[in-house]
């Protein structure tokens, strides 16, 4: 299922084309801020013989406030290339009043995110880049982070971030412990080798995609306010942790689920499942307040239909000896 990206595209609507580079590129901010300020050495004061009365000590001057950088498109490209020599300038940025709000570097040749040192964006898309190390972004206040189709394994550097959207699809991430207590609303982990989801037990996730993950135990979802969950092609057998939740959309096609009884009394409006696998709970499924039901709903296609049409076809198939 394709993710529904909202905030990042909205933030990037005013990015515009890449600024043309001047004959002499501006100095990278990292290099400029690191350069020591020039000062004129003081001459040695003449030695005084007479005794003088000590003057009261002057107050220690306050430290200078950190320099504020007024970012432009050109400066941002220069800063990224300073840390990533192979970067070809294909990033897109939303900059408001000199402040970088969002960066889309999807597909760019980015291996180093040290360019984040002097900016505090809300959204960052590093999908389809060769990035592996997230440590330079530790302590950032990102709200959205997209890492799909990267080689990132370790999420510990993002622990404590105020992330609301995290997309990890097709990464080698195995452990979600770093997401504990994160204010996540959307988590997309399609095709990840994640077997343990206990790290998200206390996240306010509403949209969860776990297609093709080897997860079998979903007990952590008892306390998650899910609206939609996709368990397509997972190892989940037991749906009882979902009993009594406010879940509205459930995708369990091609799983070893055989019993739909735990769905009794739920307010599901969409159900995607594999009828041939079900040995108990069909009548429960028929009693659900569904608006659509089917056996497939993914990027390859879908067959969702009104419940009346689906159950008529199902009953006919059962009567004729099939499912």
Give the model's confidence band at 200: pLDDT under 50 very low, under 70 low, under 90 confident, else very high: very high
pLDDT digits (tens, 9 = 90+) for 93-130: 999 999 999 999 999 999 999 999 999 999 999 999 99
Q: What is the C-alpha separation between 187 and 264, in angstroms, rounded?
A: 26
Q: Which residues have C-beta within 8 Å of that of residue 17, sequence separation ≥ 6?
A: none
Q: What is the C-alpha separation between 273 and 308, in angstroms, rounded?
A: 16
pLDDT at position 319 is 87
Task: Return the H-helix or E-strand segment holding 76.
Answer: helix 73-83
Report the candidate in 220, 271, 231, 228 with the shortest Cα–Cα distance to residue 255: 231
Q: Which residues have C-beta within 8 Å of that of residue 279, sequence separation ≥ 6?
A: 258, 259
pLDDT at position 10 is 41
Better pLDDT: 299 or 162? 162
Kindly compute the dihedral angle of the four CA atoms of residues 313, 314, 320, 323, in this order, to the nearest 10 degrees: 130
Give the model's confidence band at 68: pLDDT under 50 very low, under 70 low, under 90 confident, else very high: confident
Q: Is the pLDDT at 19 greater than 50, yes or no?
A: no
pLDDT digits (tens, 9 = 90+) for 263-300: 999 999 999 999 999 999 999 999 999 999 999 998 88
pLDDT at position 32 is 60
Task: Return the H-helix or E-strand segment holding 282.
Answer: helix 282-287
Q: What is the C-alpha separation between 161 and 124, in angstroms, rounded?
A: 13
Average pLDDT over residues 12-22: 38
Q: What is the C-alpha separation between 198 and 220, in angstroms, rounded?
A: 5
Q: Which residues have C-beta within 8 Å of that of residue 52, sequence separation ≥ 6?
A: none
Average pLDDT over residues 70-97: 96
The Cα-based distances of 322 to 30, 38, 208 in angstroms read: 68, 85, 33
Q: What is the C-alpha separation between 71 and 52, in angstroms, rounded?
A: 52
Q: What is the C-alpha separation between 256 and 171, in angstroms, rounded?
A: 24
Q: Is the pLDDT at 54 greater than 70, yes or no?
A: no
Establish how many alpha carbons lie within 13 A of residue 25's alpha carbon, considering only the half-sphere containing its beta carbon: 18
Give the model's confidence band at 64: pLDDT under 50 very low, under 70 low, under 90 confident, else very high: low
pLDDT at position 218 is 98
The Cα-based distances of 167 to 69, 133, 148, 274 in angstroms read: 30, 16, 6, 27
pLDDT at position 4 is 42
Q: What is the C-alpha separation between 130 and 134, in angstroms, rounded?
A: 12
User: Quick one: 146 exposed, middle or buried, by C-beta within 10 A (0-12, 13-18, 19+)?
Assistant: buried
Q: Is the pLDDT at 249 greater than 80, yes or no?
A: yes
Give the model's confidence band at 240: pLDDT under 50 very low, under 70 low, under 90 confident, else very high: very high
Q: Is the pLDDT at 9 greater than 50, yes or no?
A: no
Average pLDDT over residues 26-44: 57
Q: Is the pTM here over 0.75, yes or no?
A: yes
Contact 102, 78 (CB under 8 A): no
């Amino acid at each position: 299922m394709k993710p529904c990206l909202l905030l990042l595209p909205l933030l990037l609507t005013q990015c515009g084309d890449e600024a043309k580079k001047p004959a002499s590129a501006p100095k990278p901010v990292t290099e400029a801020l690191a350069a020591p300020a020039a000062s004129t050495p003081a001459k040695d004061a003449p030695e005084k013989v007479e005794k003088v009365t000590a003057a009261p000590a002057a107050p220690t001057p306050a430290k200078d406030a950190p320099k504020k950088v007024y970012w432009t498109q050109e400066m941002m490209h220069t800063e990224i290339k300073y840390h990533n020599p192979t970067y070809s300038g294909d990033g897109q940025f939303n900059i408001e009043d000199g402040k970088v709000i969002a960066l889309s570097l999807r597909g760019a040749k980015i291996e180093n995110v040290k360019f984040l040192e002097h900016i505090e964006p809300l959204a960052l898309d590093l999908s389809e880049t060769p990035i592996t190390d997230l440590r330079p972004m530790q302590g950032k206040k990102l709200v959205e982070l997209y890492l799909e189709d990267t080689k990132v394994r370790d999420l510990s550097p993002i622990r404590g971030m105020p992330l609301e959207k995290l997309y990890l699809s097709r990464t080698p991430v195995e452990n979600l412990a770093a997401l504990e207590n994160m204010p996540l609303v959307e988590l997309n982990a399609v095709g990840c080798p994640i077997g343990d989801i206990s790290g998200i037990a206390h996240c306010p996730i509403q949209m969860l995609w776990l297609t093709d993950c080897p997860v079998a135990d979903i007990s952590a979802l008892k306390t998650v306010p899910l609206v939609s969950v996709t368990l397509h092609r997972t190892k989940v057998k037991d749906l009882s942790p979902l009993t009594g939740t406010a879940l509205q959309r459930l995708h369990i096609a091609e799983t070893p689920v055989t019993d739909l009884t735990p769905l009794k009394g739920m307010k599901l409006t969409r159900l995607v499942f594999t009828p041939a696998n079900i040995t108990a709970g069909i009548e429960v499924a028929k009693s659900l307040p569904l608006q659509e039901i089917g056996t497939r709903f993914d990027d390859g296609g879908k067959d969702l239909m009104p419940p009346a049409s689906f159950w008529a076809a199902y009953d006919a198939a059962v009567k004729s000896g099939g499912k």
